[in-house]
Amino acid sequence: VTDPTKPTLVSGADTRRLLGPWQPPAGEVESEGTWGFADTAFTIDAEGRVLLTGNRYSLAGQPLPNLLPWMRGVMEVDLRADDRHAPHFPPAIPEPVRNAGLETELAGYLRPDQISLDGIQRLRRGHGHTQEEVYNLKHGHWKRIPDLVTFPESDEEVAQLVESAIRHGAVLIPYGGGTNVTDALRCPENEQRTIVSVDMKRMNRIRWIDPVNRLACIEAGAVGRHIVSQLAEHGLMMGHEPDSIEFSTLGGWIATRASGMKKNRYGNIEDIVMDLTAVTAHGALERRQVAPRESVGLEPRQWMFGSEGNLGIITSAVVKLFPLPEVQHYDSLLFKDFSSGVAFMYDLAQAGDWPASARLVDNVQFQFSMALKPASTGFKAWKSKLEKSVVTGVLGYNPNQMVACTLVFEGTREEVARQQALVKRLSKQHGGMPAGGENGARGYQLTFGIAYIRDFVLDHWILAESFETSVPWTQLEGLISRVKQRLLDEHAARKLPGKPFITARVTQIYDTGACVYFYFAYYYKGTPNPTAVYHELENAARDEILKCGGSLSHHHGIGKLRQGFLPQIASPATLAWQAAAKQALDPTNVFGVANQVAPLDASVTPHATDAVKSH
Amino acid sequence: VTDPTKPTLVSGADTRRLLGPWQPPAGEVESEGTWGFADTAFTIDAEGRVLLTGNRYSLAGQPLPNLLPWMRGVMEVDLRADDRHAPHFPPAIPEPVRNAGLETELAGYLRPDQISLDGIQRLRRGHGHTQEEVYNLKHGHWKRIPDLVTFPESDEEVAQLVESAIRHGAVLIPYGGGTNVTDALRCPENEQRTIVSVDMKRMNRIRWIDPVNRLACIEAGAVGRHIVSQLAEHGLMMGHEPDSIEFSTLGGWIATRASGMKKNRYGNIEDIVMDLTAVTAHGALERRQVAPRESVGLEPRQWMFGSEGNLGIITSAVVKLFPLPEVQHYDSLLFKDFSSGVAFMYDLAQAGDWPASARLVDNVQFQFSMALKPASTGFKAWKSKLEKSVVTGVLGYNPNQMVACTLVFEGTREEVARQQALVKRLSKQHGGMPAGGENGARGYQLTFGIAYIRDFVLDHWILAESFETSVPWTQLEGLISRVKQRLLDEHAARKLPGKPFITARVTQIYDTGACVYFYFAYYYKGTPNPTAVYHELENAARDEILKCGGSLSHHHGIGKLRQGFLPQIASPATLAWQAAAKQALDPTNVFGVANQVAPLDASVTPHATDAVKSH
């Protein structure tokens, strides 16, 4: 009795299904000056209630009367609907640095629609979504952006672009979804050469799917949401769901060593990608075989994970597939306080049979998600309702201390039932209360809708940004509370108005530790250079993170934002290796994006006893 | 109700247990000229029966009357107890290339017992266990071996050694367990510089164990069996069990990207090692934090996986720990033929809830394990008994086609029961028959005892060796049968005596494919240059493997043995990257072991469209 939905092994059969070219559905227009789709934005309605436009998100279309009052309370500032810091998009666009020889050569193998000098197009490819970049789109000056945007459609065209750029002394910056929060796309101001953005979006094909060997070959410019929908037509999935999945691309995931929200079940990007091709200054890294696992010496392809555009342009990858789960089930839990929640997450990690996703949000984030509920009543009524609810009233949960955990279960009916039973047992041990599947689904989906809020609050004098780390279990709680305190102290020391908004969640669990994700926002009205101040505060938080045993990044990467911290996490020899490898592998610096790798400093001389003492 | 055997999270607590220096137990003497422990070897007793000496292995101490008769039958040669190719160990030892300046400098920081010029010691560190090396220990000439053996006891001493070697123009070759089968330790004959073996065995400490964060810091020279026994005292394990675990070291596992037999549960070495320190020509790669997972750009430490001594000397690693399993259970299954077994393994892989180990042996290997049974009866009686057994008699299994699968279950009682039920269900679907836990345990343990047989058969004119690959599921069976046929053809074309011994097993399963492990042996009496002939045949097999979509290696690595195949699996750009990285990271070639990485060839010029077409 074989299950007809399951693939059957036929030895020797060619089980690859070749797929043809593919066009994204019409109507999926991305915004030029803000996050996300053009039809979606937070606004304020006539009655002063916040409203998410469009109909893409569960949050959309319903007035959110509690949000502004709640934020006023938390940030202790007078957030008024009519007090706007009006954005000015587009900003002035710098003139491109032209390179006539290069342009002539490109015209030899690219069609006119594959080359653009358009200012808005160039601007978009010169930024990601750091607080500074987002602010500067509305209020800033742009000294340097890409000079030219190209849209290659094949490996051969990417290879030709690399040759042309080397020949004509230009710089290439690969562009995927533009969703990074590390200043990875920011153009170095002192770059004199012509900067060519290589937009990979037209390399969006799934070339083939092999359901028996559970592999697919996908071009690097394919966008997450399109990969999901196309694979689903075949009953398959890749399982990689970063918060940015709607817009980020396969190539970007590899280049930044991305992590998905369901990594417990499907793995992080390095677990899912079985092989990749990349065009480098030395030619194309590629191979014939796709092995399930190998030991074949130094592996240049592996070096592309986390390379962030420094070493070459990823053009395609062979990824592992999974069958769509028989069952998907959301759930949520409430805990009395953050410590109880962390203890639960630790025990879940130790038990090993993990739900696809388990995330623990702190009290502020819990309150935030409550404030995002489209309550029909006013803020006071809502707050009083919360205070009188069963958990707070009968069970004595303090609304200012309780936290929530959202869970996603995926798998066979049996697996999901088993994991649910485990979660129930462990939750009980830590005084947890079931809070229902609807809240779980809402909590999980909120990630996508909430991404639009930053542009909204920015128009009301609030600068916001997220940053993350990973840390061993015993250091997790201390790290979170010390980072929060450090931000409070730094905020107070600068006499900034109101209170900062600081919240943390545990987003990924591992055997040996977890990923912690912070949101930090502050009210900048009246503060000169608000992005510089944010940067100072964020650096202080990062300094505290490192002191508490956290990593420099769990999945965002380094970019240009965190470069300065590398000497604190890596020994001089490590930095020398990075620089020497960059120089050897990209001798003309054609991939001159200047992310993470500092130029080889003559003062860092090879010396075997230079040592950051470690374990 | 918390389980007292499980760790409890105490946030902020220092949960590291520091451990002191450690000495291996007395009496564990390794053989100088053959595999393994000095007290263990296959011999022939007075009645002509094969016997394994010592008392370390379940196989030991019981006469094995069926082995020689069975081998005679399979190989169709006249294997006689008294027809020996008598070994001559030790061979002539070449004079060391002395370097007075270096020796004087070493004497400044190493004690006399940390330096050796002894011939036998030098010889041992100049080889692994390829067929050619093993043969040459008994019958060959050694032109080049290490000139000096050093025994550093700290990171500092390793760093000093690197500095001294650079200063005095010497070469360093790190030495762990000496168990490689890739000619990784073979000294290049044309190496004019003094070759210093850096024996890491005295760096054998577990520095600390953190049971709450499930981490341990272990020195690179620690031997597998000692890591297992020491961690077990704390109720913990690392879970990495390569076939060589008795002798190989943590540093060697990392340098060769090793795979363990229980990787289904505990992961391969790259999944287990969370951090590492290494001394390189640029200094020490090391850090402060140990993150559960990171995205921190180019990761030199990651490049040490599979580096095989080319880039530096690994001195310690932080590894992930697991609690000792509540239950360990062995099992075995019989299938009618190899195809049924492969279909079972595929379905098991797709089902996902994998036993710690699942291995499928082909019919020859099944018969081999039967022939290794200490039957009290003679060979004919044994054969007749097999033919009359329930499976062969009642169920119609053909003794010349049936295959066996050995399974190891580890985990909680619940996990093991669940996996057993799954195995039972899938086995039934493919006509499998339960063959009991005892046979399972025997099959799994046989790996360790059987490793001694190669030295035994070599003394009876048989050269034997193993090699492995990994391959997608649909290509697995075709690969195995074509490789077997190719070896038969090549053997016949050379008119070699008798028949070759060829057998395969599937040792590791993955979502997308599996690891296949071959044993190949041939009778060389009367054949000039037997190791060269073996090498030709092995290369033919490897050629066939690559043609069938297999990888160059699943876990053995490249060494010097498989270097020549690199252009077949990697594009010119990949090879250029390897060479350029080697030159940049080890400019004076102090780690001049010449494994895998060919010297940078001026003819390989950077050219972006050089391409091995792939997916």
Indicate the burial class of A542 (C-beta count within 10 angstroms; 0-12, 13-18, 19 or more).
buried
- The pLDDT of A37-49, averaged and rounded, is 93
Q: How confident is the model at residue A472 (pLDDT cuts 50, 70, 90)?
A: very high
Per CB-CB distance under 8 Å, the chain B contacts of A268 are 293
Residue pointed to by tokens 């290439």:
A172
Query: A 203-242 residues with CB below 8 A of B?
Result: 207-208, 210, 212-215, 217
What are the pLDDT digits (tens) for A95-115?
999 999 999 999 999 999 999
User: If DSSP codes are grouped into helix, strand and coil, which group holds residue B132?
Assistant: helix
Looking at the complex, report in whole angstroms how far the Cα of residue B477 sits from the nearest Cα belonging to chain A. Answer: 6
Q: Provide the β-strand partners of residue A328.
A: A410
Q: Is the per-residue pLDDT at A52 higher than 60?
A: yes
Q: DSSP letters of A525-545?
A: TT-SSHHHHHHHHHHHHHHHH
How many angstroms separate the first and last alpha carbons of chain A? 54
- The 3 state secondary structure assigned to A285-307 is ECCCCCCCCCCCCCCCCHHHCCC
What are the pLDDT digits (tens) for B41-61?
999 998 889 999 999 999 999
- C-alpha B563/C-alpha A55 separation (Å) is 58
Most A-contacting residue of B274, B321, B512 (CB-CB within 10 A), to test interface: B512
Q: Cβ of B318 and A615 within 8 Å?
A: yes
Q: Cβ of B606 and A587 within 8 Å?
A: yes
- Beta strand extents in A170-214 (DSSP E only): 171-175, 195-199, 206-210
Q: Residue B367 has what pLDDT?
A: 94
Task: Give me the percent of chain B exceeding a pLDDT of 90.
Answer: 85
Q: Cβ of B283 and A572 within 8 Å?
A: yes
A277 touches chain B (CB under 8 A): yes
What are the pLDDT digits (tens) for A316-326?
999 999 999 99
Average pLDDT over chain B, rounded to an integer:
92
Looking at the complex, report in whole angstroms how far the Cα of residue B5 sits from the nearest Cα belonging to chain A. Answer: 12
Q: Residue B602 has what pLDDT?
A: 35
CB atoms within 10 A of CB B315: 26
Q: Residue A161 has what pLDDT?
A: 98
- C-alpha A251/C-alpha A256 separation (Å) is 9
- The pLDDT of A81-94, averaged and rounded, is 95
CB atoms within 10 A of CB B18: 9
Q: Cβ of A615 and B342 within 8 Å?
A: no
Q: Residue B394 has what pLDDT?
A: 65
- The pLDDT of A73-78, averaged and rounded, is 95
Q: Cβ of B283 and A208 within 8 Å?
A: no
Angstrom distances, CA of residue B263 to CA of A295, B216, B359, B421, B440: 14, 18, 12, 21, 17
- The pLDDT of B127-147, averaged and rounded, is 96
Q: Are B217 and A615 in contact (CB under 8 A)?
A: yes
Q: Is the per-residue pLDDT at A48 higher than 90?
A: no
B511 touches chain A (CB under 8 A): yes
Q: Is the per-residue pLDDT at A547 higher than 70?
A: yes
Q: How confident is the model at residue A155 (pLDDT cuts 50, 70, 90)?
A: very high
Indicate the burial class of B577 (C-beta count within 10 angstroms; 0-12, 13-18, 19 or more).
buried
- Both tokens of residue A280? 């480098």
User: If DSSP codes are grouped into helix, strand and coil, which group holds residue A194?
Assistant: coil
Residue in A88, A143, A124, A144 with CA at minimum distance from that of residue A458: A88
Within B248-403, where are the H helices?
A: 250-256, 263-266, 269-272, 300-303, 338-351, 363-371, 379-388, 390-393
Q: Residue A387 has what pLDDT?
A: 67
Per CB-CB distance under 8 Å, the chain A contacts of B510 are 292-293
What are the pLDDT digits (tens) for A204-248?
999 999 999 999 999 999 999 999 999 999 999 999 999 999 999
- The pLDDT of A467-486, averaged and rounded, is 98
Closest Cβ–Cβ partner in B477, B513, B584 for A580 = B584
Closest Cβ–Cβ partner in A10, A470, A552 for B474 = A10
Q: Is the per-residue pLDDT at A192 higher than 50?
A: yes
Q: Cβ of B283 and A609 within 8 Å?
A: yes
A572 touches chain B (CB under 8 A): yes
> What's the gap between Cα B331 and its chain centre?
23
- The pLDDT of B302-314, averaged and rounded, is 96
What are the pLDDT digits (tens) for A580-612?
999 999 999 999 887 776 544 433 333 333 334
Q: Provide the β-strand partners of residue B280.
A: B283, B312
Residue in B518, B424, B436 with CA at minimum distance from that of residue B471: B518
Q: Cβ of B609 and A283 within 8 Å?
A: yes
Question: What are the phi and psi torsion angles at B44 (to 5°)?
Answer: -120, 130
Q: Residue A607 has what pLDDT?
A: 36
Q: Residue B604 has what pLDDT?
A: 33
Residue pointed to by tokens 């909204």:
A456
Residue of A517, A519, A522, A524 marked catalytic: A517
Catalytic residue flag (residue A517):
yes
Question: What are the phi and psi torsion angles at A217 (to 5°)?
Answer: -105, 120
What are the pLDDT digits (tens) for B553-565?
999 999 999 999 9
Residue pointed to by tokens 């600081």:
A502
Per CB-CB distance under 8 Å, the chain B contacts of A217 are 615
Closest Cβ–Cβ partner in B11, B515, B571 for A476 = B11
A560 touches chain B (CB under 8 A): no
Angstrom distances, CA of residue A519 to CA of A404, A502, A510, B47, B295: 16, 6, 21, 79, 19
The residues near A343 (Cβ < 8 Å, ≥ 6 apart) are A430, B9
Residue pointed to by tokens 């320190």:
B277
- Both tokens of residue A475? 């250091």
Q: Residue B611 has what pLDDT?
A: 36
Lowest model confidence (mean pLDDT) among A397-401, A457-461, A500-504: A397-401
Cβ–Cβ pairs < 8 A, chains A and B: 442
Q: Are A73 and A499 in contact (CB under 8 A)?
A: no
Q: Residue B374 has what pLDDT?
A: 84
Query: A 525-544 residues with CB below 8 A of B?
Result: none
Q: Cβ of B11 and A339 within 8 Å?
A: yes
What are the pLDDT digits (tens) for A368-387?
999 998 875 556 666 666 66
- Rounded to a whole number of angstroms, the CA Rg of chain A reads 25
Residue type, A411: G
Indicate the burial class of A351 (C-beta count within 10 angstroms; 0-12, 13-18, 19 or more).
middle
Per CB-CB distance under 8 Å, the chain B contacts of A476 are 11
Q: Cβ of B289 and A515 within 8 Å?
A: no
Q: Residue B395 has what pLDDT?
A: 74
- Both tokens of residue B44? 């022939």
Q: Residue A383 has what pLDDT?
A: 67
B298 touches chain A (CB under 8 A): yes
Residue in B15, B75, B92, B49 with CA at minimum distance from that of residue B487: B75
Q: Is the per-residue pLDDT at B210 higher than 90?
A: yes
Q: Residue A382 has what pLDDT?
A: 62
B550 touches chain A (CB under 8 A): yes
| pTM for this model (two decimals) | 0.95
Q: Residue A7 has what pLDDT?
A: 86
Residue pointed to by tokens 């390379």:
A307
- C-alpha B280/C-alpha A349 separation (Å) is 36
Classify residue A252 by its DSSP letter: H
Measure the CA dihedral A229/A232/A233/A235, to 10°.
180
Residue of B346, B397, B444, B517 marked catalytic: B517
What are the pLDDT digits (tens) for B436-448?
999 899 888 888 9
B162 touches chain A (CB under 8 A): yes
Q: Cβ of B284 and A611 within 8 Å?
A: yes
Q: Is the per-residue pLDDT at A252 higher than 90?
A: yes
B613 touches chain A (CB under 8 A): yes
Residue pointed to by tokens 């009519």:
A82
Query: A 347-366 residues with CB below 8 A of B?
Result: 347, 350, 353
Q: Is the per-residue pLDDT at B192 higher than 50?
A: yes
What are the pLDDT digits (tens) for B258-289?
999 999 999 999 999 999 999 999 999 998 88
Per CB-CB distance under 8 Å, the chain A contacts of B606 are 281-283, 587
Q: Cβ of B582 and A298 within 8 Å?
A: yes
Average pLDDT over chain A, rounded to an integer:
92
- C-alpha B17/C-alpha B26 separation (Å) is 25
Q: Is the per-residue pLDDT at B315 higher than 50?
A: yes
User: If DSSP codes are grouped into helix, strand and coil, which group holds residue A124?
Assistant: helix
Q: Are B523 and B77 in contact (CB under 8 A)?
A: yes
Q: Residue B605 has what pLDDT?
A: 34
Q: DSSP letters of B56-111?
A: SSTTTTS-BTTHHHHHHHHHTS---TT-------S-PPPPP---HHHHHHHHHHS-
ipTM of model: 0.94
Q: DSSP letters of B414-456?
A: HHHHHHHHHHHHHHHHTT-EE--HHHHHHHHHHHHHHTTHHHH
Question: Please, what is the angle between helix A338-351 and helix A473-493, to 10°?
Answer: 150
Looking at the complex, report in whole angstroms how far the Cα of residue A378 sits from the nearest Cα belonging to chain B. Answer: 39
Task: Give me the percent of chain A exceeding a pLDDT of 90.
Answer: 85
Q: Cβ of B473 and A213 within 8 Å?
A: yes
- Both tokens of residue B51? 């016997």
- Both tokens of residue B395? 């169920």
A258 touches chain B (CB under 8 A): yes
Q: Which helix (H) or strand (E) holds A435?
A: none
